[in-house]
Amino acid sequence: MSQLEGASIHIRGIVQGVGFRPFVYGLATKLSLTGWVRNTSAGVDIEVDGLSVNLARFLDALGAQAPPLARIDEIVVNRRPANGFSQFEIVQSAGDAQAVQPISADVGICPDCLRELFDSSDRRYRYPFINCTNCGPRFTIIKDIPYDRPKTTMAPFEMCVQCAAEYHDPLDRRFHAQPVACADCGPRIWLEIEGGRHAAQEEALQAARGLLRKGKIVAIKGLGGFHLACDATNPEAVAELRRRKLRVDKPFALMMPDLATVEHHCLISSDERELLESRERPIVLLARKTGSPIVQEVAPRQRTLGVMLPYTPLHYLLLAQEEGMPEALVMTSGNLSEEPIATDNQEARERLLPLADAFLMHDREIHMRCDDSVVRVFGRTDGDGLVYSLRRGRGYAPTPIKIGWDAPAMLTAGAELKNAFCLTKHKYAFLSHHIGDLENYETLHSFEQGVAHFERLFRVQPEVLAYDLHPDYLATRYAWARAEREGLTAIGVQHHHAHIASCMAEHGLSGAQPVIGVVFDGTGYGDDGAIWGGEFLIADYQGYQRSYHLAYVPLPGGDKAIKEPWRQALAWLQLAGVGWDEDLPPVGAVAPEARAAVKRQIEVGLNTPLTSSMGRLFDAVSALAGVRQMANYEAQAAIEFETRVDPDEGGSYPFDIGEREIDPTPLIRAIVADIRAWVPVDMIAARFHTGVALMVHEVCKALREQHHLNEVVLSGGVWQNMTLLTKSYELLTQDGFDVYVHQQVPANDGGLALGQAAIAAHMINN
């Protein structure tokens, strides 16, 4: 016999702004339960009374049937006698200054809203800001918590009677959808040309489409910032965009109207299809089909294209395939070269004026800048590929990463390039969205704004700061200055140690047992002052032991050598005892005076640090093989070298694995011999990649012997090289190693702050 009972329920996780309260309301009323539900700063609280059998069903369904955007991290249930409620209701949010409440990332338009958008009988027909509880802007419009309309940039728009009715109806899809709006009461679009308002609403949209068809460049305000758009099949338009943006060679992202069009231009697996259509709507790196009319200049000398599907209603309206609209638009961030993406209308007018022929504006303010995310699928076996994050932004941030320890209130500053910072509290790590390269004032300012916003949003007042050991990183200096000013504990974390910890943390490894960490990247400050980057560390969260590393080589000219790979190639030739003869590409490519200067730098050691960087070895070999002597963007030489790999070539080059050092000079000599024997570049590229993978396997085997460890963690930016990752992963897993690769968090420095947090937390707890 079922009897009347009660329960107090506390739920933690992403449960606000995702339709969770209406879901609870619907469920409770269906089961004849009484009581209430409300948002708190820490999650959702529920009080219910009802028959015990119904109560049990209610508790089961809470987790099992939660709305698609909800993520429940914890449910605490306290049984109690019935309270005697008379009905079920949704009550006012309760604030609590100390609590941590994850908030939802921005969500791509849902199928219901998309249907309404193109339904001429719907009252929101062709309204560019249609959204509901299941989709729309979140992170980029939220100013503070609890997530309610007055605390978003929707505050200035007063709801019309019809929108308000939907907003207040617990059974409506738009119940408490904070950005709810319609053409009568919500944000609007307009088009500006040469500083003047040219057209508004539908007319503005059609005018923008007309300009794009004609090969013009249009700045388009989106969710997390402005894009610069142009026809990706028009060579003049793309070349003009490159010229205006001062961007040489670095690939542009594309937006295509639908999957069928993507399939027309790219080869896609079922995993890639799923990712493209996911509500996060990232840019997915896809294999380009030969014969696609996308102009080569979009991604020069690459075999891949970065493609995303539309994610806002405005995008769908803009790309609709009528009237000869281009099948693909370049959609690149609205900025000049390396500055942050523009978000504010006035800022965009000022900064993008020389770049855009017209501006498609709207009047919903973007509170937090957020770039598009970039991912690819690792493992091409259809159906079990892994998401591999390259840049974590819109759609993913600020969803917290659950961590396996109780973290103090901490801020970790991250690295210099591809910066992201991280806040921790309780069992959450709030890794920020991609901030950018902290090399100019604008990006540093964006970093500081982001930190202040995250601290407020997640109610974290840091007691501890962690930073990279590199004394010149702006993020490091920020942490030092702040620790000094606020009297906080500051902890320096070695770069490559942080890389390994980042990968361990995202996989929830306890750290009770050390792992074999293979960290390959471009630049990281070593604890001996040299530039590391080809490292085998035995590591846990507390510490590391540098077991093997790539042999040191002079880096002639320091940072200059990163932009000029030929310099590193000459240094390796010298170390390998190979003369600088002009038949070798990096020698023949530069003037004798420049070579003489490099020779002097190596001899005297002037502005020539030592490095064990694997990224630089890739650069050097790319230059040696004649692929690229000068880089226009980070890692270009290595990236273009990878595209040359001949998949049918089975050979490899040898490393000399010593006691602690791994010497690549035998490999350098073998490549020189191949060049002189006219072996094609594609075979050289394949032999090099296989050689590195075999070396990784050999060293891991030696470390397994020595330390009786079986877990291998692969981290660092070089692991974005899919050829190397795939070959190494196969060799290691086939030999019985448990191999961990990055998924949610980038392998590059964009994931570093999470590792810093893991290490600093464990150092404090001990």
List contacts with Zn ion (CB under 5 A): 110, 113, 132, 134-135, 160, 163, 182, 184-185
Interatomic CA distance for residues 495 and 611, integer angstroms:
14
Closer Cβ to Fe ion, 178 or 756, answer by number = 756
For the bound state, the minimum distance from the C-beta of residue 735 to Fe ion, rounded and expressed in Å, comes to 26
The residue number with the shortest CB distance to Fe ion is 521
Within residues 518-547, the interface with Fe ion by CB under 5 A covers 521, 524
CB of 650 to Zn ion, least distance (A): 51
In the complex, what is the shortest distance from the CB of residue 524 to Fe ion, in angstroms, rounded to a whole number?
Answer: 5
Closest CA to 598 of 577, 626, 568: 568
Q: Which of residues 181 and 375 has its CB atom nearest to Zn ion in the complex? A: 181
- Give yes or no for residue 468 binding Fe ion (CB under 5 A): no
Q: Are 243 and 322 in contact (CB under 8 A)?
A: no
Phi, psi of 291 (to 5 degrees): 90, -5
Q: What is the DSSP string of 77-122?
A: EEEE------SEEE---B--TT-----PPPBPPPHHHHHHHT-TTS
SS (H, E, C) 332-361: EECCCCCCCCCCCHHHHHHHHCCCCCEEEE
Which stretch, 165-173, 255-263, 430-438, 749-757, contacts Fe ion (CB under 5 A)? Answer: 749-757
* Closer residue to Fe ion in complex, CB, 371/634: 634
Q: How far is the CB of 179 from Zn ion (least distance, A)?
A: 10
CB of residue 495 to Fe ion, shortest distance in Å? 6
H or E segment and range at residue 744: none
**Nearer Cβ to Zn ion, position 142 or 438?**
142
Nearer to Fe ion, 271 or 521 (CB): 521
The option from Fe ion, Zn ion, none interacting with 135 (CB < 5 to 8 A, set by class) reads Zn ion
Tokens in use for 575? 């170390």
Nearer Cβ to Fe ion (5/521): 521
**Residues of this chain, 492-521, that bind Fe ion according to CB under 5 A:** 521
Run of H or E residues at 246: none
Q: How far is CA 643 from CA 13, 73, 627, 637, 685, in A?
A: 42, 42, 10, 10, 9
Q: Where are the beta strands (DSSP E) in 379-525?
A: 386-391, 401-412, 422-431, 464-468, 489-493, 515-525
d(CA 279, CA 396): 10
Q: Of Fe ion, Zn ion, none, which one does residue 328 interact with (CB within 5 to 8 Å by kind)?
A: none
Q: How far is the CB of 523 from Fe ion (least distance, A)?
A: 7
Give dist(CA 411, CA 258) in Å, integer: 40
The SS3 call for residue 208 is helix
Q: Which does 731 bind (CB under 5 to 8 A by kind): Fe ion, Zn ion, none?
A: none
H or E segment to which residue 265 belongs: helix 259-265
| Complex with Zn ion: residue 167 or 396, whichever CB lies closer | 167
Residue 5 interacts with, from Fe ion, Zn ion, none (CB under 5-8 Å by kind): none
Q: Who's near 445: CB < 8 A, 6+ residues apart?
A: none
Question: Judged by CB, which is closer to Zn ion: 111, or 487?
Answer: 111
Closest CB 497 distance from Fe ion, rounded Å: 11
Contact of residue 259 among Zn ion, Fe ion, none (CB under 5-8 Å per partner type): none
Q: Is 749 in the site for Fe ion (CB under 5 A)?
A: yes
Q: Which of 163/341 has CB closer to Zn ion?
A: 163
Q: How far apart are CB 246 and Fe ion at their closest, in Å? A: 26
From Fe ion, Zn ion, none, which one binds at residue 272 (CB under 5 to 8 Å depending on kind)? none
Least distance from C-beta 13 to Zn ion, angstroms? 21
Query: What's the rounded Cα separation, in Å, for the pair 345 and 362?
Result: 8
160 binds, among Fe ion, Zn ion, none (CB under 5 to 8 A by kind): Zn ion
Q: How far is the CB of 119 from Zn ion (least distance, A)?
A: 13
Nearest residue (CB) to Fe ion, 179 versus 524: 524
Pairing of β 4-14 and β 43-51: antiparallel
CA distance 367 to 319: 26
C-alpha dihedral, 577 to 581 to 584 to 587, nearest 10°: 100
Binder of residue 132, out of Fe ion, Zn ion, none (CB less than 5 to 8 A by kind): Zn ion
Q: Say how far apart CA 177 and CA 151 lie, in whole Å.
A: 13
Distance, CA of 534 to CA of 523 (rounded, Å): 9
The torsion angles phi and psi of 456, rounded to 5 degrees, stand at -75, -45
DSSP β-ladder status, 34-40 and 43-51: antiparallel
DSSP string, 210-241: HHHHTT--EEEE-SSSEEEEEETT-HHHHHHH
What's the half-sphere exposure (Cβ side, CA atoms, 13 Å) at 200? 6
Of 11 and 130, nearer to Zn ion (C-beta) is 130
Interacting partner of 506 out of Fe ion, Zn ion, none (Cβ under 5 to 8 A depending on kind)? none
- Regarding 372 and contact with Fe ion (CB under 5 A), the answer is no
**How near is the Cβ of 277 to Zn ion at its closest, in Å?**
15
Query: Checking phi first, is residue 635 left (phi over 0); if not, alpha (psi -120 to 50) or beta?
Result: left
Least Å from the CB of residue 748 to Fe ion: 6
The set of residues, in sequence order, having a beta carbon less than 8 Å from that of 558 and lying 6+ positions away, is: 607, 608, 609
Cite the beta strand spans of 106-200 per DSSP E: 189-193, 196-200
Give the nearer residue to Zn ion in terms of CB position, either 171 or 677.
171
Residue number with CB closer to Zn ion (182 or 531): 182
CB of 147 to Zn ion, least distance (A): 16
Q: How many binding residues for Fe ion (CB under 5 A)?
A: 3
List the single partner that 185 binds among Zn ion, Fe ion, none, CB under 5 to 8 Å by kind: Zn ion
Closest alpha carbon to 423 in 407, 434, 439, 437 = 407
- Decide which of Fe ion, Zn ion, none touches 538; Cβ closer than 5 to 8 Å per partner kind: none
Which of Fe ion, Zn ion, none lies near 163, with the C-beta cut-off 5 to 8 A by kind?
Zn ion
Residue 499 C-beta: closest distance to Fe ion, Å: 6
Question: What letters, b where the CB count within 10 A reaches 16 and e where it falls short, cover 490-527?
Answer: bbbbbbbbbbbbbbbbbbebebeebbbbbbbbbbbbbe
DSSP 489-525: EEEEE-HHHHHHHHHHHHTT---SS-EEEEEEEEEEE
Identity of the residue, 233 or 612, whose beta carbon is nearer to Fe ion in the bound complex: 612
Give the C-alpha separation, 251 to 330, whole Å.
10
CB under 5 to 8 A by kind: which of Fe ion, Zn ion, none does 749 bind? Fe ion
From the CB of 756, what's the least distance to Fe ion, in Å?
A: 12
Q: In this complex, which beta carbon is closest to Zn ion, that of residue 135 or of residue 623?
A: 135
In whole angstroms, the minimum distance from the beta carbon of 716 to Fe ion comes to 5
Q: Which does 521 bind (CB under 5 to 8 A by kind): Fe ion, Zn ion, none?
A: Fe ion
Q: Which is nearer to Fe ion, 280 or 749 (CB)?
A: 749
Which residues contact Fe ion by CB under 5 A?
521, 524, 749
